[in-house]
């Protein structure tokens, strides 16, 4: 008779193979495949973007600067257009109750996730590409420091989408909700109709004409990152010129670093180079429209 393994037992097994996202341990590289699958829990129809836990203010809003773990460099960025596919795993249950990188307490029963580069907190939709089930998570910790994985999910979030050990997922940042939780954390109040609210800020000066979208003639563009501060975008764009025609494009209140005027072959090469050399997760546009970065 085929046995169905319980969530508690699965988590105990996973604790021995999943990476500890807070430590970056290199001794836990098991891929998690081959374990008897969970019976996938049905999608919680009541979960919504108004979930009080998902949208509550954090102790701090944390992006951080570039850092290295085991010789691999990671560059955190504010990217409201982030939409990537890759492998996700499960956060070990033993981390329940520990502090996260932005000062929250990890609660294994909540819909939470880790990321090496997204701001903390960020709200994202994660879809299990094996069964199409989705869950909305709050990204509030750094990790997993295993290059084969983009994200780790809390045990509760993993169960929600039937994720057993590791699996291929799509991760999409929800821009409106991520901005709302950022503003709640920073104490920024939405402007009432008919009133003017002045918020003191250290943001960079308004965009100069150079930040306006340049003429794009190639079929493909690779987006490296997006920032609220123009000086951060300018600095990264200068470094990215080693990979091609890197420019800063001003769209709304965001300054986006893109490598433009690429054909399919060059775009594939740039994406691979950024992943391998910089530890980045670049996005891909074809004729100005977002496409899967692995579609070419």
* Residues 29-74: tens digit of each pLDDT: 333 332 223 333 333 434 554 478 899 999 999 998 888 888 888 8
Between strands 67-69 and 220-227, the pairing is unpaired
Phi/psi at 215 (nearest 5 deg)?
-70, 125
Position 47 scores a pLDDT of: 54
**What is the rounded CA–CA span in Å between residue 9 and residue 34?**
15
Residues 74-108 pLDDT 10s: 889 888 999 999 999 999 999 999 999 999 999 99
Specify whether 234 is located in the same domain as 91: no
187 assigned to some structural domain: no
Decide if pLDDT at 116 tops 90. yes
8-state DSSP, 99: B
Residue 50 included in any domain: yes
Long-range contact pairs involving 264-267 (C-beta distance under 8 Å, separation at least 24) = 264/219, 264/220, 264/296, 266/220, 267/220, 267/221, 267/222, 267/296
Closest CA to 225 of 294, 283, 291: 283
Which of 164, 180, 196 is at the close of a domain? 180
Residue 196: inside a domain, yes or no? no
Per-residue pLDDT at 114 exceeds 50: yes
Last residue of a domain, one of 135, 159, 180: 180
Whether 185 maps to a domain, the answer reads: no
Residue 176 sits in the same domain as residue 226? no
CATH code assigned at 19? 2.40.40.10
Q: Are residues 17 and 154 in the same domain?
A: yes
Pair 176, 216 in one domain: no
Q: How far apart are the first and last CA of the chain?
A: 44
| Domain match, 174 and 234 both | no
What does pLDDT average to over the chain? Answer: 77
CATH of the domain at 226: 3.30.70.1070
- Answer yes or no: is 194 within a domain: no
pLDDT bin (cut points 50, 70, 90) of residue 194 is very low
**Distance in angstroms (rounded) separating the CA atoms of residues 140 and 111:** 10
| 146 shares a domain with 231 | no
- Considering only CA atoms, which of 241, 227, 234, 235 is closest in space to residue 270? 241
Whether residues 163 and 117 fall in one domain: yes
Tally of structural domains, the chain: 2
**Quick one: 55 and 146 in the same domain?**
yes
In a domain, 193, yes or no: no
**Mean pLDDT, rounded, for 144-169:** 93
Give the span between the Cα atoms of 231 and 203, in whole angstroms.
9
Residues 131 and 242 in one domain: no
Is the Cβ–Cβ distance between 241 and 257 less than 8 Å? no
In a domain, 31, yes or no: no
> Quick one: DSSP state of residue 82?
-
Q: Show the domain range for 265.
A: 209-291
Same domain, 174 and 222: no
| Domain assignment of residue 191, yes or no | no
Task: Say whether both 176 and 245 belong to one domain.
Answer: no
Q: Any idea which of 46-60, 252-266, 268-282 has the lowest mean pLDDT?
A: 46-60
């Amino acid at each position: 008779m085929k046995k169905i393994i319980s969530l508690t037992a699965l988590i105990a097994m996973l604790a021995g193979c999943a990476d500890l996202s807070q430590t970056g341990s290199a001794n836990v590289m098991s891929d998690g495949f081959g374990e008897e699958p969970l019976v996938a829990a049905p999608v919680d129809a009541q979960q919504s973007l108004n979930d009080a836990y998902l949208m509550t203010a954090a102790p701090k809003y944390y992006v951080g600067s570039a850092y290295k773990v085991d010789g691999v460099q990671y560059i955190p960025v504010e990217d409201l257009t982030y939409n990537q596919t890759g492998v996700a795993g499960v956060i070990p249950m033993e981390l329940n109750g520990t502090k996260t990188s932005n000062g929250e307490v990890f609660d294994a029963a909540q819909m939470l996730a880790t990321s090496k580069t997204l701001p903390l907190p960020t709200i994202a939709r994660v879809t299990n590409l094996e069964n199409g089930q989705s869950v909305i998570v709050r990204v509030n910790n750094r990790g997993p420091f295993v290059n084969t994985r983009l994200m780790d999910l809390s045990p509760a979030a993993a169960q929600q989408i039937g994720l057993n050990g590791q699996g291929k997922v799509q991760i999409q940042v929800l821009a409106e909700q991520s901005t709302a939780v950022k503003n709640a954390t920073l104490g920024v109040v939405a402007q009432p109709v008919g009133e003017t609210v002045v918020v003191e800020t250290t943001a960079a000066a308004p965009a100069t004409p150079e930040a306006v979208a340049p003429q794009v003639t190639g079929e493909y563009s690779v987006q490296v990152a997006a920032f609220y501060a123009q000086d951060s975008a300018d600095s990264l764009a200068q470094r990215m010129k080693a990979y091609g025609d890197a420019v800063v494009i001003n769209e709304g209140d965001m300054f986006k670093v893109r490598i433009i005027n690429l054909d399919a072959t060059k775009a594939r090469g740039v994406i691979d180079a950024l992943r391998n050399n910089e530890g980045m997760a670049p996005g891909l546009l074809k004729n100005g429209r977002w496409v899967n970065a692995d579609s070419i």
